[in-house]
């Protein structure tokens, strides 16, 4: 069964805020429609009389005594002409006003998957992973900040966001994977106590374990220089939207970078450096929240049978 078949609402949840954003971008167009309401009514009012005018004009065609007479009076034609012209004007106004809205919708939906993928990967390059409960407008703002080098500002926003979501994230993970409750709760408790040297390795290990359970692939193992979870993405991404949403699972990001993929100045949170004891300074709140964001993302985007 495809990714979207198992849970058709998954993509809808991810893109609900994008639809809201489309609506906000279209709002000025429909405001123009409202502003033109009186003009539309003035143009449309005579059209209401078309039925009556036509009935009076063509009534002789359908009367018993004049069934086969097709004469139309000059007066009737003169009466209909302005109504027809007003109808044409009404149609032009509607087409001029509404067409840009549909063009905007088409363009936005066409650009949405590549834009989303780019933003998700930009976050991933800095060790953060998107929460499907986050307004998508925030995703664009964070991407812009990180791209422009405002890393501290972006980190501050994400730290505050995930700090407030800790309880909800833990509850959602435990509810979905009750067999892991003891370990997950221990990791979150360690985080709350500021014991980040303990929380981070457990969170990373549980992320990999959940990925193996659901996707049948390890998140941090590679094949042909790509995470093995790329295989899962290829099999389950039924459309461009889900492919974009799953793209962080299909690309090598700093969290899973191998020794050859880490440059000399590398200072991002890295699973290998942490679990193999090579990193001694990973234990801080930011890195722990990054690990929570990764675990939360994996739980949200991987489909289960529940």
Q: In the chain, what are the domain boundaries?
A: 113-301
CA distance 83 to 86: 5
Q: What is the pLDDT along the chain (306 residues), one digit of tens a residue?
A: 444 444 444 544 545 555 555 556 556 655 655 555 555 555 555 555 555 555 555 455 445 444 444 444 555 555 556 656 666 665 666 555 555 544 544 454 455 688 889 999 999 999 999 999 998 888 999 999 999 999 999 999 999 999 999 999 999 999 999 999 999 999 999 999 999 999 999 999 999 999 999 989 888 888 877 888 888 888 887 788 888 889 999 888 999 988 888 888 888 999 999 999 999 999 999 999 999 999 999 999 986 544
What is the reported pLDDT for 31?
60
The answer to whether residues 53 and 80 touch, using CB atoms and an 8 Å cutoff, is yes
For the four alpha carbons of 179, 128, 230 and 262, in that order, the dihedral sign comes to negative
Burial of 290 (0-12, 13-18, 19+ CB in 10 A): buried
Burial of 264 (0-12, 13-18, 19+ CB in 10 A): exposed
The answer to whether residues 289 and 203 touch, using CB atoms and an 8 Å cutoff, is no
- Retrieve residue 301's tokens: 């985007």
CA distance 47 to 20: 35
The answer to whether residues 73 and 81 touch, using CB atoms and an 8 Å cutoff, is no
């Amino acid at each position: 069964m495809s990714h979207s078949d198992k849970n058709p609402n998954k993509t809808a949840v991810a893109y609900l805020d994008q639809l809201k954003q489309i609506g906000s971008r279209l709002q000025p167009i429909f405001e123009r429609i409202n502003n033109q309401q009186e003009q539309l009514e003035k143009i449309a009012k005579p059209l209401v009389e078309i039925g009556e005018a036509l009935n009076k004009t063509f009534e002789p065609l359908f009367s018993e005594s004049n069934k086969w007479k097709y004469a139309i009076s000059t007066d009737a034609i003169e009466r209909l002409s302005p109504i027809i012209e007003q109808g044409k004007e009404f149609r032009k106004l509607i087409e001029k006003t509404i067409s840009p809205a549909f063009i905007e919708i088409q363009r936005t939906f066409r650009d949405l998957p590549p834009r989303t993928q780019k933003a998700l990967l930009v976050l991933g390059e800095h060790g953060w992973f998107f929460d499907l409960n986050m307004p998508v407008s925030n995703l664009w703002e964070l991407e812009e900040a990180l791209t422009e080098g405002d890393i501290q500002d972006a980190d501050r926003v994400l730290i505050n966001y995930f700090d407030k979501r800790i309880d909800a994230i833990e509850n959602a993970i435990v509810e979905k994977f009750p067999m892991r409750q003891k370990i997950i709760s221990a990791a979150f408790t360690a985080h709350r106590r500021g014991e980040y040297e303990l929380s981070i390795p457990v969170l990373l290990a549980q992320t990999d374990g959940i990925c193996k359970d659901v996707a049948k692939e390890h998140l941090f193992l590679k094949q042909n220089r790509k995470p093995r979870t790329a295989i899962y993405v290829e099999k389950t991404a039924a459309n461009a939207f889900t492919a974009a949403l799953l793209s962080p699972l299909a690309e090598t990001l700093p969290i899973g970078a191998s020794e050859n993929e880490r440059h000399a100045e590398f200072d991002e949170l890295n699973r290998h450096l942490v679990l193999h004891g090579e990193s001694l300074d990973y234990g801080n709140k930011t890195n722990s929240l990054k690990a929570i964001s990764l675990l939360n993302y994996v739980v949200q985007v991987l489909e289960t049978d529940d």
